[in-house]
Amino acid sequence: MTAISLHGDLWMQDAALIRDLALDMPAGRWSSLLGISGIGKSTIGRMIAGLPGPYRLDGSLTTGDGQPLAGRVAMLAQEGQNLPWASLIDNVTIGARLRGARPDRDRAREMLAQVGLAGMEDRHPPTLSGGQRQRLALARVLVEDCPIVVLDEPFSALDTMTRLEMQDLAAKLLQGRSVILITHDPLEAIRLSDHAWLLGLDGAHALDLPQGAPPRAFDTPQTLAAQAGLLARLHRAEGNRCTG
């Protein structure tokens, strides 16, 4: 398990996104990042995953064990990024093939079974429902067996009930890993997070979450009250951007 700390000023080319950013995301827990569009949530996810881009951090990105992040991060991006022309089992093993390694097809079948896609190995993503495509993307992350997982709006394209189902499944299958969840959905963050932050121009502001371990029930008074409070904060932040 690996903790991640990110401190400093985040820039996109010559524009400052977030000043005085301070994120200390504990090992083996879900850490969620929320904020208005364009504030830098996905940029932080890409930075942790080691993906290139026109951004920089004037500061430090460190791990709790002092080891590099490279090779230890799996990322599930928006809408899954499945390959439509490849079979499900080839989608799940794409990471190994890109690294020039021999794919472990038995493990891939095991992961597909864990996410409820057993017996569908030879099908292709266009033949699946939205929920099944997200399950496929989750299986691809699981087969990499990385201790750190970045989820960037992973369930945003799903209907409400399928989204809740996928949240529960992800919480179960990613238990014990350090998960960074990037989301616009207050309920999703409240249900799944051990820690959560609202990002703004002036840094990251820790959010109060209901008691109890994730995934939290979506319909308790505590969850609904926390959702309403967070929606109000996001609404104010969006209003401040429009009038600022």
Domain boundaries defined on the chain:
4-72+146-243
Span 40-69, average pLDDT: 94
Question: Is the per-residue pLDDT at 242 higher than 60?
Answer: no
Which residues on adjacent β-strands are paired with residue 210? none
The average confidence (pLDDT) of the chain is: 91
Question: Could you tell me the two tokens for 19?
Answer: 């000043």
Nearest one of 33, 122, 129 to 80, comparing CA atoms: 129
What is the Cα–Cα distance from 15 to 91, expressed in whole angstroms? 37
**pLDDT at residue 236, as a whole number:** 81
Q: What is the pLDDT of residues 114-123, one digit of tens each?
A: 999 999 999 9
Q: Confidence band (pLDDT; 50, 70, 90) for 156? A: confident
More confident position, 239 or 172: 172
Identify the H or E element spanning 1: none
Which CATH code, of 1.10.287.3510, 3.40.50.300, 3.20.20.140, 3.40.50.10470, is assigned to 4-72+146-243? 3.40.50.300
51: Cβ–Cβ under 8 A, 6 or more apart, which residues? 75
Q: Distance from CA of residue 63 to its chain's centroid?
A: 18
Q: What is the pLDDT of residues 56-113, one digit of tens each?
A: 999 999 999 999 999 899 999 876 678 999 999 999 999 888 888 888 999 999 999 9
**pLDDT at residue 81, as a whole number:** 79
What residue has token string 């371990």?
A: 213
Q: Confidence band (pLDDT; 50, 70, 90) for 206? A: very high
**pLDDT at residue 226, as a whole number:** 93
Q: Confidence band (pLDDT; 50, 70, 90) for 127? A: very high
Q: Distance from CA of residue 68 to its chain's centroid?
A: 20
Q: Confidence band (pLDDT; 50, 70, 90) for 240? A: low
